[in-house]
Structure 1
Amino acid sequence: MKKILFWVAISLPVVACAEDMRVDIARFSQGDLNGWQKKDFAGETRYALDNLDGQLALRADSDAAASGRYRKVSVDLNQTPILNWTWKVGGILTGNDERTRAGDDYPARVYVVFSGGVMFWRTRAINYVWSNQQPVGSRWPNAFTDHAQMIAIESGSDRVGQWINERRDVRADYRRAFGEEPGQVDAVAIMTDTDNTGAVATAWYGDIWFSEK
Structure 2
Amino acid sequence: MKRWLLLVIFICAFMPSVSLSDETIPVGLFSSGSLAGWEPKQFEGETTYRIEVLDNHQVLIAHSENAASGLFKETTINLKDYPYLNWRWRIDRKLPEHDEQQKAGDDYVARIYVIRSGGLLFWRTKALNYVWSSRAEKGKTWPNAFAPDNNRMISIRSSQDNTHQWYSEKRNIYNDFKDWLGEEIVEIHAIAIMTDTDNTGGEATAYYGDIYFSKE
Q: TM-score, normalised by structure 1?
A: 0.96
Q: 1:107 aligns with which of 106, 109, 117?
A: 109
User: For the residues of structure 1 that align with 2:135 and 2:180, how far apart are their CA atoms?
Assistant: 20
The match for 1:175 is 178
Deviation at 1:119, TM superposition (A): 2.0
Distance 2:94 2:31 in 1: 24
CA contact (8 A) 1:106 1:129 kept: yes
| Match 1:13 to one of 12, 17, 23 | 17
Q: CA RMSD in A?
A: 1.1
Unmatched runs of 5 consecutive residues or more in structure 1? none
Task: Report how far residue 2 of structure 1 moved.
Answer: 4.1
The structure 1 segments of at least 4 consecutive aligned residues displaced by more than 3 Å after TM superposition are 2-5
Q: What's the counterpart of residue 123 of structure 2? A: 121
Query: Counterpart of 2:128 in structure 1: which amino acid?
Result: I
- Which residue does 1:64 correspond to in 2? 66
Q: Please tell me whether residue 46 in structure 1 is matched to residue 48 in structure 2.
A: yes
Gaps of 5+ in 2: none
Once the two structures are TM-superposed, the CA of residue 157 in structure 1 deviates from its matched residue by 4.2
Please state how far the C-alpha of 1:158 moved relative to its aligned partner: 2.7
Aligned residues, how many? 211
Pairing 1:129-208 to 2, within 5 Å after superposition: 129-146=131-148, 147-208=150-211
Confirm or deny: 8 A CA contact 1:131 1:152 kept in the other structure.
yes
Give the letter for the 1:187 counterpart: A
- Counterpart of 2:54, as a letter, is L
Give the superposition deviation at 1:32: 1.1
The one-letter amino acid of 2:133's match is: S
Output the CA distance in 2 between the equivalents of 1:3 and 1:118.
Answer: 18
Instruction: Out of 155-164 and 40-49, give the one that drifted further.
Output: 155-164
TM-score between both structures, scaled by the size of structure 2: 0.94
Displacement of 1:182 in angstroms is 1.2
Post-superposition Cα deviations, 1:175-206, rounded to whole Å, max 9, x if no partner, equal 11122111411100000000000000000111
Q: Percent identity?
A: 45
